[in-house]
Amino acid sequence: MTFSKRSAKTLLALGSALAFSLPMTGIAAAQTSGASIAYAGGWATNGIVNPMPQANGNIVQDGIAYAPLAIYKYTGNYAYWPVLAKSWSVAANGNQVTVHLNPQAKWSNGTPVTANDVYVTFEMQFIAQNAQNWGLTGMKVLNPHTIVFYKNPKYLYSKLFLLQQILNNNNIMPAADFQQFIPKNLWSIVHAASGKTNAASTKAALAKLSKIATTIEGHNFRSPSALIYDGPWSFSRTSSAEQLYVKNPNFVFAKHITATSVLAINQTTNDVSWRALENGQIAYAGVAYSPPVFKAVMKVHQNHFIAAPQSTGMSIMFNEQKYPYNLVQVRQAIAYMINRVAARKVGEPIGSVSVKIPDGLIGADNQQWLTASERASLNRYPFDPSKAAQLLRSVGFKKTSKGWMMPNGKPFVLTLYAEDYSDWDAGLQEIASQLNSLGVKTQSDFMNTTAYYSTTDGVGTGKFPVASRWWGGWNPEPFYTYQQAFISDDHNFTVNNSGQLVPGPKPYVVDAPTSIKVPNLGVVHPQQLTIALEQNISSAIMKSDVYKLAKTYNYWLPAIPVWNQQAGRTYSTAHWIWPNFKANRALLNQFTYQTPFVVYQILGLMHPRP
């Protein structure tokens, strides 16, 4: 085959045209301009357009295109920033919530957001069988701008959490798009589904709800423009790598929104965000780093790192019924033997702090819930091998040339079961090394996440007498951390809807005792106190209960919290002026629980750099 000169010229011309046109695409679209915010989001391209949550990531990024009634400040009280709601009230008994919508709230097509939209949104929560778990029994539309939510008075669910579910946790979806899926007999199905667990009618009703939910989630709206939006930006275009949202001029606080568009890049892996940050393509990402990558990212494009408070971290958790960990002196001795500062430096050097007071609360929550004198009354368990030795000897342990021996003459061997996270592995190896050097023969048994959790509550069943585990309940509300420590030791909720403790799935056991005698405090009933935190009690009583629980945790040590893992987020000030969130806990919390720039834009606190 030979080419004529003419064909060669034609090919050359085509090639040149292609070469010149290529750089005009792709990267250009991903650049951040002054009026556009680009950030690292996450979704799966499944070929369908449907904003309902999916396991592989919601195709419509959370909070961008759909707005909630209000945004929670996560400050452990009832403080919110209103969005689609103008006001709300909670009945004194906590069983009725009335929400008044902002008359200015509109969908992207200009039609008003009505109480019917809210009604349909929460009907879908009943279909998904979520609302039942909050004790909701139904809603009533009083007028186009007012809706009332009713809660089962016998159901144990605090008004704080209920309000959070109604106002903050669920974005309002358009009835215009979703009412078509709600069957007319929905409420009779919902009522049938709450019948006796094993009754055929209950099972049939549950199956019907699941089928409706599948139909809703599997429906293909085909194009983002086929849907309407009540959030700050409307969903415009999507691909496997990027999504584009454009400003919604009808959004209730549209005048606050200074970003004319939002470009989301798909953070399929951490390195996608690292590259985008190194290239100056994005202004915000929630991504973890290795130290070298951290340095490379932070030195360019005015990238900054913020470690926002997050109520969790790594802990060493005990089964308090397994010898010798049933002895509080042994648990305390181990706490004194662990150098938490050194372990954190090895395991989680970026985006964490070592725990100063092991009482179940992170530092910021300690400040919020406990007074200075209460905090001072708690034991900090500094690294103190001599104190540890004293405690071990007090329960009959002996130190020999071979290390610590138990009263029965056998060596004290500690197996540390752990989930196979690389950061945890490193930190736990350091802890094992510390304990070994002090005479406790310690070995680690790391397993992958699914294998670790497939053991169904290894700590609670006694399969793992000592294991590393997340602590803190992932929520600033103290209920969560203490329910993990004193009720479930894991993620199994074992309080029934009448507020009674019930046994979890066999062979699960609640390993914490129902009463504990705490020095300088007296006898404490940690499970009752924890359940009380979820009930409708005053803030003063709550604070008093939290102190008692903190003091009990601090003495009893169901777990030794080693470090507090913060929400590590990266933001760039190259194109945007961010609010002073460091001085405001509510604003700072948005880095942990929301996409912060969305909240700041809604509040009118974020502006493009001139």
Partner 1 sequence: MPMKLIRRLAVSIVMIFVVASLTFFLVRMMPGNPYSVLYHKLVMQGLPPLQAMDQVRGIMNAMPNQPAYIQYFEWLRQLIHGNLGTSIAETGVPVTQLIFDALPWTLVTVSLGLFISFVIGIVLGVISASYRGTWLSNLIDNVGSVAHAIPVFVTAVALLYLFNVIWHIFPSSGAYGIMETPGFNWPFITSFLYHIALPIGTYVLAGFGSWELAMKSTTVMVMNDDFMMAARIHGLPRDRQMNYLGWNSILPLFTLFMLSLGVMFGGSVFIESTYAFPGIGNLLATAVTSRDYPVMQGCFMLTTATIIMANVLADFLYASLDPRISN
User: By CB under 8 A, is residue 242 in contact with partner 1?
Assistant: yes
User: By CB under 8 A, is residue 530 in contact with partner 1?
Assistant: no
Piece of 123-131, 186-194, 395-403, 517-525 that binds partner 1 (CB under 8 A): 123-131
User: By CB under 8 A, is residue 445 in contact with partner 1?
Assistant: no
> How far apart are CB 260 and partner 1 at their closest, in Å?
14
Piece of 171-179, 259-267, 372-380, 393-401 that binds partner 1 (CB under 8 A): 259-267
How far apart, in Å, do the first and last CA atoms of the chain sit? 60
Tell me whether residue 60 or residue 567 sits nearer to partner 1 (CB atom): 567
Distances, alpha carbon 241 to alpha carbons 62, 268, 519, 572, 593, in Å: 17, 9, 58, 21, 24
Tell me whether residue 323 or residue 493 sits nearer to partner 1 (CB atom): 493
User: By CB under 8 A, is residue 198 in contact with partner 1?
Assistant: no
> How far apart are CB 230 and partner 1 at their closest, in Å?
21
> How far apart are CB 219 and partner 1 at their closest, in Å?
7
Piece of 22-30, 193-201, 340-348, 506-514 that binds partner 1 (CB under 8 A): 22-30
Considering only residues 154-173, where is the footprint of partner 1 by CB under 8 A?
169
Question: Site for partner 1 (CB under 8 A): which residue of 310, 354, 527, 572?
Answer: 310
User: By CB under 8 A, is residue 240 in contact with partner 1?
Assistant: yes
Question: Site for partner 1 (CB under 8 A): which residue of 15, 153, 218, 382?
Answer: 218
Tell me whether residue 47 or residue 522 sits nearer to partner 1 (CB atom): 47
Question: Site for partner 1 (CB under 8 A): which residue of 22, 142, 254, 413?
Answer: 22
User: By CB under 8 A, is residue 496 in contact with partner 1?
Assistant: no
> How far apart are CB 28 and partner 1 at their closest, in Å?
7
At 17 the three-state DSSP class reads helix
DSSP secondary structure, 335-391, as one string: HHH--HHHHHHHH--SSEEE-SS-SSS-HHHHHHHS-HHHHHTS----S-HHHHHHH
Alpha-carbon dihedral sign for residues 195, 199, 205, 207: positive
d(CA 145, CA 159): 22
Residue 434 near residue 337 (C-beta atoms within 8 A):
yes
DSSP secondary structure, 463-496, as one string: SSSEEEEEESTTSSSHHHHHHIIIIISSS---B-
Tell me whether residue 276 or residue 389 sits nearer to partner 1 (CB atom): 276
User: By CB under 8 A, is residue 270 in contact with partner 1?
Assistant: no
User: By CB under 8 A, is residue 558 in contact with partner 1?
Assistant: no
d(CA 587, CA 309): 11
Considering only residues 369-428, where is the footprint of partner 1 by CB under 8 A?
none
> How far apart are CB 318 and partner 1 at their closest, in Å?
19
d(CA 58, CA 352): 28
Find all residues with CB under 8 Å of 384, minimum gap 6, and list them: 336
Question: Site for partner 1 (CB under 8 A): which residue of 239, 394, 539, 573?
Answer: 239
d(CA 123, CA 119): 6
User: By CB under 8 A, is residue 241 in contact with partner 1?
Assistant: yes
> How far apart are CB 443 and partner 1 at their closest, in Å?
22
Question: Site for partner 1 (CB under 8 A): which residue of 275, 295, 299, 517?
Answer: 275
* Number of amino acids touching partner 1 (CB under 8 A): 78
Find all residues with CB under 8 Å of 341, minimum gap 6, and list them: 354, 383
Count, in order, helices (H) and strands (E) of the chain.
22, 25
User: By CB under 8 A, is residue 152 in contact with partner 1?
Assistant: no
Distances, alpha carbon 67 to alpha carbons 303, 365, 419, 607, in Å: 28, 28, 36, 20
The residues that bridge with 318 in the sheet, in sequence order, are: 466
Distances, alpha carbon 389 to alpha carbons 47, 107, 330, 393, in Å: 62, 67, 10, 6
Q: Which two tokens stand for residue 37?
A: 């915010």
Question: Site for partner 1 (CB under 8 A): which residue of 1, 4, 55, 506?
Answer: 55
Considering only residues 66-85, where is the footprint of partner 1 by CB under 8 A?
none
> How far apart are CB 521 and partner 1 at their closest, in Å?
28
Tell me whether residue 42 or residue 349 sits nearer to partner 1 (CB atom): 42
Question: Site for partner 1 (CB under 8 A): which residue of 148, 156, 183, 237?
Answer: 237
User: By CB under 8 A, is residue 497 in contact with partner 1?
Assistant: no
β-strand 413-419 against 441-447: which pairing, if any?
parallel
> How far apart are CB 182 and partner 1 at their closest, in Å?
15
User: By CB under 8 A, is residue 437 in contact with partner 1?
Assistant: no
Piece of 78-86, 207-215, 325-333, 334-342 that binds partner 1 (CB under 8 A): 207-215
User: By CB under 8 A, is residue 16 in contact with partner 1?
Assistant: no
Question: Site for partner 1 (CB under 8 A): which residue of 88, 446, 480, 578?
Answer: 480
DSSP secondary structure, 76-108, as one string: SSS-EEESSEEEEEE-TTSSEEEEEE-TT-B-T
Distances, alpha carbon 410 to alpha carbons 318, 336, 396, 399, in Å: 20, 22, 12, 11
Distances, alpha carbon 203 to alpha carbons 13, 138, 211, in Å: 68, 21, 12
